């Protein structure tokens, strides 16, 4: 029988096992081809879809490549000033304590201009979720050095590579916020392979479900590629990321709530 | 029945926010307005009305918390003093761009820079001419008494939600710090979740339900033509506000031949100067703008047909005087008397200045 | 013995030709077309449809969410 089974026979609604969540709009994503932002956007929406909490979720978009996330995420969304998403999210959660609130921020937004808001929201233990995309570069403005740019890594504002003597060191803000008593769950993930995506999705789900517990902030870093900024093909950039970013930003949970 | 109390201006403001049904206050300490946050943390409205009170890590965080709360269709506010208000300007621009309602109190101190903690009115330009970047306006209310410090949070929320626009209350260190009697009225209850959804769910981020499209709050408009259209729409709104919301108070203007124009604390000084001048037979009067934006241009222009000259009194080197000059369209002389850097003018020196101008000195 | 057969459908106009799906497919089903879509990108297609097991790997790594996956169990 299988010899006669055509592709047309398989592609029927009853056989559908995966398609884009309805919580992503039909607007084409503005991200570059192969950019992990698209996958991360989708995972957040898949989790909210699967949890059935569209009507109870408010998302905060940053300034950076994901500034237009509100065009793609089919939920109520707020676009925040550069770096201030954790402050905005703090207020949203405080005035709507039973809603699910997340910020979606890049490394420049979260770990440079918004360091203060990030650390204080974490330290206050706001019951929100922060999704932090770390690609070691300012993507939207055209590939400038970020707080997370690796030593010797080239960017348009460090064209000869990041000289740590002059430009300082990469900021491991995720390890930093894990030290704060207000964070409940801190993890570092990636979205460049199917296995990584499955893990990252579980982490995002946990980070959003944690809001019900009201035990503090859940923080999910996603180390991602910026193939345009790094000037590589998408697959080469993912390989480069594994070889160079992962040693500096190791995958896995950094702070896991202890079972009582 | 109204309750009568002796209160500091900053405390009256804080009490006014609770009784205005505010949902949240986000602040950061700075002299001379720290009593607002101190009062709220002492009274603890979060245990009675459910109003959120939070000390933010900075003025920048506080104004962005206001942005977040305002996005949710809630009555939210912040307060600060001059250097802190400068830090809030980016956030105020975002609030205006995204057409969000909120109340911001500035208890002005002298500047520039860290300046002084003494009272001043040198933030007039910053308040009425924009302050942050871009084409926008705040509604600006200028209290001149502790009673108005109490009353204006409620009025501020009414205007802010009527027009979906930030309302700035431009006070100063005198009004913030001095004590006067205040009549406290009945509390306005906070909106329930149902009321928020009923009143504001056509724009606020209350959670996307199946019966409506998602609400997006943003001030980002990448296409120039659409951004221009948005700004023109904002200015059409400001015109409606100008047509409907100008507020001012006249003091002994009916037979006045010489006019003071002053707001806030300076207006209180001028009230005494009018009395001193009248004792000397000079028919002086005072116009006190209550809304500084929109500005009572027509009221001043009308009076300029009656009086011989105007003295604008400000605790600054001359900021509002420009709006008075624009109002009278050069028809009569407009002079400025100012003290700055935290110095408060005395009624006598103001009256003497008017006398000198009358004599043509 | 039951056998799993799969197939994918690519939203051609939204595919950006990044090729992340190509290397994520364990059975080497996917290649990029020589043609380009309206945006000028080569897009993903099933070059070896018979090898598809419907594992969804391509779809879940696709940054643009352009791949839908279908799967059927057939008796041998």
Taking CB atoms and an 8 Å cutoff, what residues of chain C touch A202? none
**Under the phi-then-psi rule, with left for phi > 0, alpha for psi from -120 to 50, and beta for the rest, what region is B216?**
beta
Domain boundary among B193, B212, B227: B193
Task: For chain B, positions 196-235, list CB contacts with chain A under 8 A.
Answer: 205-210, 214-220
Is C16 touching A (CB cutoff 8 A)? yes
CA distance B126 to B112: 12
**What are B54's strand-pairing partners?**
B26
Determine, yes or no, domain membership for B235. no
Residue B181 and residue B273 in one domain: no
Min Cα distance A163 → chain B (Å) is 31
**Residue A244, pLDDT score:** 98
Residue B90 and residue B176 in one domain: yes
Residue B168 and residue B90 in one domain: yes
Nearest Cα residue in chain B from A77: B216
Determine, yes or no, domain membership for B240. no
Determine, yes or no, domain membership for B294. yes
Determine, yes or no, domain membership for B320. yes
pLDDT at B21 over 90: yes
Beta carbons of B33 and B80 less than 8 angstroms apart:
yes
Q: Reply yes or no on domain C2-75 having CATH 2.70.98.20.
A: no
Low-confidence ranges of chain A (pLDDT < 50): 1-2, 260
When scoring B50, B68, B192 by the number of chain A Cβ atoms within 10 A, the one with the most, hence best to mutate, is B68
pLDDT tens profile C29-54? 999 999 999 999 999 999 999 999 99
Question: Do residue B64 and residue A57 have CB atoms under 8 angstroms apart?
Answer: no
Question: Do residue B94 and residue A81 have CB atoms under 8 angstroms apart?
Answer: yes
Min Cα distance B105 → chain A (Å) is 18
pLDDT (average), residues B329-353: 97
Domain ranges of chain C: 2-75
Average pLDDT, chain B: 97
Question: Do residue C66 and residue A20 have CB atoms under 8 angstroms apart?
Answer: yes
Min Cα distance C33 → chain A (Å) is 16
**Residue B26, pLDDT score:** 98
Determine, yes or no, domain membership for B204. no
Taking CB atoms and an 8 Å cutoff, what residues of chain A touch B65? 87-88, 90-91, 94
The distance of Cα B271 from the centroid of its chain, to the nearest Å, equals 20
Is B31 touching A (CB cutoff 8 A)? no
Residue B73 and residue B178 in one domain: yes
Residue B113 and residue B35 in one domain: yes
Residue among B23, B64, B94 minimizing CB distance to A95: B23
CA distance C69 to C56: 6
**Residue C50, pLDDT score:** 95
Taking CB atoms and an 8 Å cutoff, what residues of chain B touch A89? 68
Show which subunits contact C, needing at least 3 CB pairs below 8 angstroms.
Answer: A
CATH of the domain at B182: 3.40.50.970
- What H or E segment, with its residue span, contains residue B27? strand B24-27
Question: Do residue B205 and residue A78 have CB atoms under 8 angstroms apart?
Answer: yes
**Residue A95, pLDDT score:** 98
Residue B160 and residue B47 in one domain: yes
Beta carbons of A90 and B238 less than 8 angstroms apart:
no
Residue B146 and residue B22 in one domain: yes
Determine, yes or no, domain membership for B225. no
**Residue C75, pLDDT score:** 78
Residue B176 and residue B73 in one domain: yes
pLDDT tens profile B172-227? 999 999 999 999 999 999 999 999 999 999 999 999 999 999 999 999 999 999 99
Question: Do residue A76 and residue B207 have CB atoms under 8 angstroms apart?
Answer: yes
CA distance to A236, A251, B92, per residue, from A232 (Å): 6, 22, 40
**Under the phi-then-psi rule, with left for phi > 0, alpha for psi from -120 to 50, and beta for the rest, what region is B131?**
left
pLDDT tens profile B30-45? 999 999 999 999 999 9
Is C68 touching A (CB cutoff 8 A)? yes
In order, the DSSP letters of B195-245 are HHHHHHTTTS-S---TTSPPPEE-----SHHHHHHHHHHHHHHHHHHHHH-
Domain boundary among B159, B174, B193: B193
Domain boundary among B149, B166, B193: B193
Q: Reply yes or no on domain A31-255 having CATH 1.10.150.20.
A: no
Range of the domain at B189: 3-193
Domain ranges of chain A: 31-255
Q: Which residues contact A15 (CB under 8 A, 6 or more apart)?
A: C70, C71, C72
Beta carbons of A132 and A107 less than 8 angstroms apart:
yes
pLDDT tens profile A131-171? 999 999 999 999 999 999 999 999 999 999 999 999 999 99
Nearest Cα residue in chain A from C42: A33
ipTM strictly over 0.85? yes
Residue among A78, A87, A89 minimizing CB distance to B56: A87
When scoring A51, A53, A59, A76 by the number of chain B Cβ atoms within 10 A, the one with the most, hence best to mutate, is A76
DSSP assignment, residue A241? I
Residue B59 and residue B129 in one domain: yes
CA distance B136 to B128: 10
Cα-flanking dihedrals φ and ψ of residue B324, to 5°?
-65, -45
Whether the upstream peptide bond of residue A92 has omega within 30° of 0, thus cis, is: no
pLDDT tens profile B59-111? 999 999 999 999 999 999 999 999 999 999 999 999 999 999 999 999 999 99
């Amino acid at each position: 029988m299988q010899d006669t089974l055509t592709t047309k026979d398989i592609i029927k609604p009853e056989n559908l096992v995966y398609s884009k969540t309805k919580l992503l709009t039909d607007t084409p994503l503005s991200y570059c081809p192969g950019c992990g932002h698209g996958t991360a956007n989708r995972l957040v929406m898949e989790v909210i879809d699967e949890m059935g909490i569209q009507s109870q979720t408010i998302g905060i978009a940053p300034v950076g490549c994901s500034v237009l996330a509100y065009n793609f995420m089919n939920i109520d969304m707020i676009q925040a000033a550069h770096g201030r998403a954790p402050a905005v999210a703090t207020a949203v959660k405080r005035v709507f304590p039973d809603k699910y609130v997340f910020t979606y921020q890049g490394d420049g937004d979260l770990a440079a201009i918004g360091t203060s808001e990030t650390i204080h929201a974490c330290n206050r233990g706001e019951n929100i979720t922060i999704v932090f995309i770390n690609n070691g570069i300012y993507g939207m403005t055209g590939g400038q050095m970020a707080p997370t740019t690796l030593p010797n890594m080239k960017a348009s504002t460090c064209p000869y590579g990041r000289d740590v003597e002059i430009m300082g060191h990469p900021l491991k803000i995720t390890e930093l916020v894990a030290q704060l008593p207000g964070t409940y769950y801190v993890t570092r993930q990636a979205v460049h392979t199917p296995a990584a995506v499955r893990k990252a999705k579980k982490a995002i789900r946990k980070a959003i479900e944690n809001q019900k517990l009201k035990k503090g902030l859940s923080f999910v870093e996603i180390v991602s590629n910026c193939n345009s900024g790094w000037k590589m093909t998408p697959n080469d950039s993912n390989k480069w990321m594994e070889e160079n970013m992962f040693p500096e930003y190791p995958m896995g949970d950094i702070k896991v709530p202890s079972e009582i | 029945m109204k309750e009568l109390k002796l209160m500091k201006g900053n405390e009256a403001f804080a009490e006014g926010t609770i009784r205005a049904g505010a949902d949240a206050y986000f602040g950061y300490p700075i002299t001379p307005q720290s009593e607002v946050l101190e009062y709220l943390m002492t009274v603890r409205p979060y245990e009675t009305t459910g109003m959120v009170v939070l000390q933010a890590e900075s003025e920048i965080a506080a104004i962005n918390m206001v942005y977040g709360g305002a996005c949710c269709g809630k009555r939210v506010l912040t307060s600060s003093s001059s250097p802190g208000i400068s830090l809030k300007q980016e956030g105020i621009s975002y609030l205006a761009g995204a057409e969000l309602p909120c109340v911001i109190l500035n208890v002005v101190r002298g500047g520039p820079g860290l300046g002084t903690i003494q009272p001043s009115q040198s933030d007039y330009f910053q308040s009425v001419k924009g302050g942050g970047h871009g084409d926008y306006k705040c509604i600006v209310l200028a209290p001149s008494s502790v009673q108005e410090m109490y009353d204006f949070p409620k009025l501020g929320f009414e205007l802010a939600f009527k027009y979906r626009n930030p309302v700035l209350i431009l006070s100063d260190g005198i009004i913030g710090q001095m004590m006067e009697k205040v009549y406290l009225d009945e509390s306005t209850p906070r909106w329930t979740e149902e009321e928020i959804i009923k009143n504001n769910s056509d724009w606020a981020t209350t959670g996307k339900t199946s019966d409506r499209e998602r609400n997006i709050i943003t001030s980002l408009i990448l296409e120039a033509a659409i951004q221009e259209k948005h700004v023109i729409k904002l200015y059409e709104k400001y015109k409606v506000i100008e047509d409907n919301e100008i507020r001012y108070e006249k003091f002994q203007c009916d037979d006045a031949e010489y006019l003071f124009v002053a707001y806030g604390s300076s207006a209180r000084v001028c009230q005494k100067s009018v009395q001193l001048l009248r004792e000397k037979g000079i028919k002086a009067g005072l116009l006190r703008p209550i809304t500084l934006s929109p500005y009572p241009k027509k009221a001043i222009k009308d009076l300029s047909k009656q009086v011989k000259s105007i003295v604008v009194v400000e605790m600054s080197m001359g900021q509002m005087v420009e709006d008075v000059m624009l109002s009278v369209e050069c028809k009569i002389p407009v002079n400025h008397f100012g003290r700055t850097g935290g110095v408060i003018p005395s009624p006598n020196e103001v009256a003497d200045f008017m006398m000198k101008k009358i004599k043509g000195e | 013995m039951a056998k799993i057969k799969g197939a994918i459908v690519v939203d051609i106009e939204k595919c950006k030709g990044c090729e992340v799906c190509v290397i994520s497919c364990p059975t080497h089903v996917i290649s990029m077309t020589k043609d380009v879509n309206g945006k000028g990108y080569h897009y993903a297609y099933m070059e070896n449809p018979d090898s598809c097991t419907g594992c969804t790997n391509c779809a879940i790594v696709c940054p643009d969410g352009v791949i839908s996956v279908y799967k059927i169990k057939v008796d041998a």
